[in-house]
């Protein structure tokens, strides 16, 4: 095979686009369900069609890709299914904003025309996120791309809904739900985000019905008192338990309220008396059902006071009504006091509007029967990594409430339920009905609501494999092998997939769940646009390449630990990509067109034996770390091996062999160099697919090597037990210790790098003496040594730099090499200058006027300067002491 020339510098952008297109056009990642190999499958957490790639996506995709590429190398039949989520509320909001700019609303278009408009938007812009997934190098099977709202997924949703309804696990009823006044839809508990906000506890007097006094009730929402149904106290509370069974008068309304007893009431919170408003508080709803209380709703679906409240408040929004109620209470002498109180406020996860509890008729899934199966399956059938998330998973399932699945929007799977206008019969069929199953009437009306987006994504692991059809993919790849996802959708998605998988496939949907951590900024703060600390992965790819970003994320992806990311770190790993590229160029300049057919066992020399041994250890370590989801260890192992051992040591050590006249030694070294470099590409490929693929396609090969140019299809390198050589490692550690020790003497005593030195080694035993004698020329070359004298009787002159390596004493004579007097004078001058500067900074930091009045960042900057100068002073002082000790 003719050699390809590598460019002088690695420019990732053209390379990435070339190989993205190659893999997709050649269907490199499209597996055959009938093909050989144990199945390994992953379904991508479907990003919203409205979304753009963020750093969480980048991490998630990188980790999944490592697993998929590694398992292909293991000979497994790997399927990674891509796709997107139709994101009901978010997508509808996007299109409604477009309509607003045109002076239109969805009602102006009507349901059918509006849905057409959303599909147009999806076709034009909805797949933008997938092009960004491509830029990450994700090895998904693009021929099996799915969408939670496409025809096959709609078929699965219909099947599941109807079957759950027939089994009594889906029902319709009145219930208190989370309502978004802005989006005009119900939200599941998980879709409500809670924010800590400052507020107030309003202490309101409720006169007792018999005129004997009053109770004081503390509430954060005085406007909802207009819908009170009772006052509750704890039966154990001696202050109030004698009032149970009596009544109180509802201020501003005048009706009598029963005083009830319930252990739910917290004696210590507020005043110990609780107003019970079943229609406007989730917990009050449960109390109301328990005590058979009246349910009064005073807010309409836009958050406006309705006809169930006194006339004067009707038409007011919540804030206006609150002010009016407080003013009226104060006017009537019923407002005892207002106390500041921070509390948790629920907001819509989409538009961030405050959520209102709202009683309405909705569709629900009965969760407890499903949750019991999902709980029992962990960890016997499905393991969660890190393990501590298992407890969180259990807690949520143990406390689960029924899932409100109906949404009052138009974009989504419309609920397949029809009501007969003539007889009231509810019909939930597999196919759209034409007549009533009870009375035969054709006067049928379909439910207006659509299903929660999470309903369709809960079916993702098996709907993406073709269910409810009996497909080869479903038989081969279900259950899937691993789900990689963020902790924030452990409940939204993971638990629900477990329930649906067990219910409809009688198997868990995945054997492993890997919960990755959060990507934060370099100071550990959560990234957000409002704080301006977001690092855009697409910007980073444009600046440094996808491989540099992927390697950075992998290197910090320690299990259970958040990632602190900075652009500087990504830039640093771009330098690592350059190091790999330059090392390859050096290797290729010293490799022939056809690699010599020399057995590795015949390659002589310490460097060759050592690097082959280390390669075997690295292969085993990489395989172990990947199987154990220790992604950061994969990166750390590769970085150390490639940068330090391969580039800094091995390539330097083999130069004499490559440049020498001994053709047998050269051929053996070339074979080892090619073997190690080519297998590095295979090992590194799952983490950095682009640069490794480009290099692999340029490398020369041995005669008869017919392996594919497509690195993504190559197997993991075979283990070679015959290359393990612990003795070579032991010898190499001694060699490296001597070279490093000599270099450290040069560095510590500020000896010029180009200055040739003499080295004396007092050896501790004959074996070490043999090893060092055999590698004298290499030590001279790497440590820039003129002469080496070694043996058990070697003695060093008085003025020498010294180090000890495994008991062997190294000495570098310094007479004529270092001008001690000049160096000491220079050090004294630098120390005096540094101490003067430190004194000025210390004085400034000791001035209360500066510390108290200067901006905090300025003060911190000065403190940082002082720390840096202290460190510099210590280094100079240590060098001075070292020189003085050498002078003796």
Binding residues for ATP: 529
Distance CA 692, CA 871 (A): 41
511, 479 contact by CB (below 8 A): yes
Enter the tokens of residue 801. Answer: 């730099």
- Closest to 39 measured CA to CA, from 467, 473, 476, 484: 476
212, 239 contact by CB (below 8 A): no
Place of tokens 């390697």: 551
Distance CA 214, CA 204 (A): 10
482, 497 contact by CB (below 8 A): no
277, 229 contact by CB (below 8 A): yes
367, 400 contact by CB (below 8 A): yes
CA distances to 67, 480, 511, 714 from 382, rounded to whole Å, are 17, 11, 4, 30
In this structure, the strands spanning 256-261 and 230-233 are: parallel
Residue 150's Cα: distance from chain center in Å?
A: 27
Distance CA 329, CA 338 (A): 12
- The torsion region of residue 722 among left (phi > 0), alpha (psi -120 to 50) and beta comes to alpha
CA distances to 525, 540, 863, 869 from 836, rounded to whole Å, are 37, 43, 16, 11
Place of tokens 């309101």: 204
Burial per residue of 69-81, b for 16 or more beta-carbon CB atoms within 10 angstroms, e otherwise: bbbbbeebbbbbb
Tally of CA atoms within 13 A in the half-sphere of 875 that contains its CB: 12
Coil vs helix vs strand at 681: helix
Distance CA 189, CA 291 (A): 24
DSSP sequence for 706-760: ---S-GGGPPPPPP-GGG--HHHHHHHHHHHHHHHHHHHHHHHTT--TT--EEEE
Could you list the residues known to form a binding site, using ranges: 529
407, 450 contact by CB (below 8 A): yes
Enter the tokens of residue 739. Answer: 């070279």
Enter the tokens of residue 111. Answer: 């349901």
In this structure, the strands spanning 39-43 and 77-81 are: parallel
Rg of the chain (C-alpha set): 36
Coil vs helix vs strand at 619: helix
For 273, the enclosing helix (H) or strand (E) is strand 273-276
Omega of the bond prior to 360 within 30 degrees of 0, cis?
no
| C-beta neighbour count of 99 within 10 angstroms | 16
CA distances to 81, 252, 264, 345, 749 from 342, rounded to whole Å, are 45, 27, 21, 9, 61
Cβ neighbours of residue 658 under 8 Å, at least 6 residues apart?
590, 666, 669, 670, 673
Cβ neighbours of residue 496 under 8 Å, at least 6 residues apart?
403, 454, 457, 458
Coil vs helix vs strand at 132: helix
| C-beta neighbour count of 742 within 10 angstroms | 26
């Amino acid at each position: 095979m003719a050699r390809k020339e590598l460019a002088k510098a690695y420019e990732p952008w053209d390379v990435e686009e070339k190989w993205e297109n190659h893999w997709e056009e050649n269907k490199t990642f499209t597996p055959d369900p009938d093909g050989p190999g144990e199945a390994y499958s992953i379904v991508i957490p479907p990003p919203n069609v409205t979304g753009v790639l963020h750093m969480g996506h980048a991490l998630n995709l990188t980790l999944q890709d490592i697993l998929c590429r590694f398992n292909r190398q293991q000979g497994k039949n790997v399927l990674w299914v891509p796709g997107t989520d139709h994101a009901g509320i978010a997508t509808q909001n996007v299109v409604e904003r477009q309509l607003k700019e045109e002076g239109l609303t969805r009602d102006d278009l009507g349901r059918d025309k509006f849905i057409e408009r959303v599909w147009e938007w999806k076709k034009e812009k909805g797949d933008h996120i997938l092009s960004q997934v491509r830029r990450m190098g994700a090895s998904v099977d693009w021929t099996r791309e799915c969408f939670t709202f496409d025809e096959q997924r709609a078929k699965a949703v219909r099947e599941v809904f109807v079957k759950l309804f027939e089994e009594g696990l889906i029902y319709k009823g009145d219930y208190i739900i989370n309502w978004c006044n802005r989006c005009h839809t119900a939200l599941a508990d998980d879709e409500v985000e809670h924010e800590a906000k400052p507020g107030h506890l309003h202490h309101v007097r409720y006169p007792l019905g018999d005129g004997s006094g009053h109770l004081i009730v503390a509430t954060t929402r005085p406007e909802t008192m207009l819908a009170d149904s009772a006052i509750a106290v704890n039966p154990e509370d001696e202050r109030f338990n004698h009032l149970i069974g009596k009544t109180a008068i509802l201020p501003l309304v005048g009706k009598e309220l029963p005083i009830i007893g319930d252990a739910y009431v917290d004696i210590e919170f507020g005043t110990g008396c609780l107003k019970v408003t079943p229609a406007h508080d989730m917990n009050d709803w449960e109390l109301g059902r328990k005590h058979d209380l009246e349910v009064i709703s005073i807010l309409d679906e836009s958050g406006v006071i309705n006809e169930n409240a006194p006339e004067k408040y009707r038409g007011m929004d919540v804030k206006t009504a609150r002010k009016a109620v407080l003013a009226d209470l104060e006017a009537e002498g019923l407002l005892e006091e207002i106390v500041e109180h921070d509390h948790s406020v629920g907001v819509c996860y989409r538009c961030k509007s405050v959520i209102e509890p709202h009683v309405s008729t909705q569709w629900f899934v009965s969760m407890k029967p499903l949750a019991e199966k999902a709980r029992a399956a962990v960890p016997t059938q499905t393991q969660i990594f890190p393990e501590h998330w298992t407890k969180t998973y259990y807690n949520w399932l143990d406390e689960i409430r029924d899932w409100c699945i109906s949404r009052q929007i138009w974009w989504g799977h419309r609920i397949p339920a029809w009501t007969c206008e003539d007889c009231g019969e509810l019909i939930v069929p597999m196919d759209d009905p034409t007549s009533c199953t009870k009375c035969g009437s054709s006067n049928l009306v379909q439910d207006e609501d659509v299903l929660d987006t999470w309903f369709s994504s809960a079916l993702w692991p098996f709907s993406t494999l073709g269910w409810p059809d009996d497909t080869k993919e479903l038989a081969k790849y279900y259950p899937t092998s691993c789900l990689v996802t963020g902790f924030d959708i452990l409940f939204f998605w993971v638990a629900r997939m477990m329930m649906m998988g067990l219910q409809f496939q009688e198997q868990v949907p995945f054997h492993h769940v890997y919960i990755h951590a959060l990507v934060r900024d370099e100071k550990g703060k959560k990234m957000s646009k409002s704080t301006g600390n977001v690092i855009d992965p697409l910007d980073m790819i444009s600046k440094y390449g996808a491989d540099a970003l992927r390697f950075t994320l992998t290197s910090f992806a320690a299990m259970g630990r958040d990632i602190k990311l900075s652009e500087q770190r990504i830039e640093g790993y771009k330098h690592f990509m350059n190091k790999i590229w330059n090392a390859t160029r050096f290797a290729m300049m010293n490799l022939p067109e056809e690699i010599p057919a020399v057995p590795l066992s015949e390659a002589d020399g310490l460097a060759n034996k050592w690097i082959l041994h280390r390669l075997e250890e690295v292969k085993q370590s990489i395989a172990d770390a990947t199987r154990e989801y220790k992604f950061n260890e994969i990166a750390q192992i590769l970085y150390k091996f490639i940068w330090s051992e391969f580039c800094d040591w091995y390539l330097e050590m083999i130069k004499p062999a490559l440049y020498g006249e001994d053709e047998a030694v050269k051929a053996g070294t070339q074979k080892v160099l090619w073997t190690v470099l080519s297998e590095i590409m295979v090992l590194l490929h799952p983490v950095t697919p682009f640069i490794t693929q480009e290099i692999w396609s340029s490398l020369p090969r041995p005669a008869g090597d017919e392996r594919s140019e497509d690195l993504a299809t190559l197997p993991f390198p075979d283990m070679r037990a015959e290359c393990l050589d612990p003795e070579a490692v032991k010898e190499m550690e001694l060699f490296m210790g001597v070279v490093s020790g000599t270099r450290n003497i040069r560095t510590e005593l500020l000896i010029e790098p180009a200055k040739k030195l003499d080295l004396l080694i007092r050896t501790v035993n004959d074996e070490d003496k043999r090893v060092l004698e055999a590698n004298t020329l290499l030590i001279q070359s790497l440590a820039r040594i003129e002469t080496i004298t070694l043996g058990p009787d070697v003695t060093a002159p008085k003025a020498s730099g010294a180090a000890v390596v495994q008991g062997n004493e190294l000495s570098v004579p310094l007479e004529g090499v270092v001008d001690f007097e000049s160096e000491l004078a220079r050090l004294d001058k630098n120390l005096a200058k540094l101490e003067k500067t430190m004194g000025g900074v210390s004085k400034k930091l000791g001035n209360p006027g500066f510390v108290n009045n200067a901006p905090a960042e300025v003060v911190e900057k000065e403190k940082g300067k002082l720390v840096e100068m202290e460190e510099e002073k210590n280094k100079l002082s240590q060098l001075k002491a070292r020189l003085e000790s050498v002078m003796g």
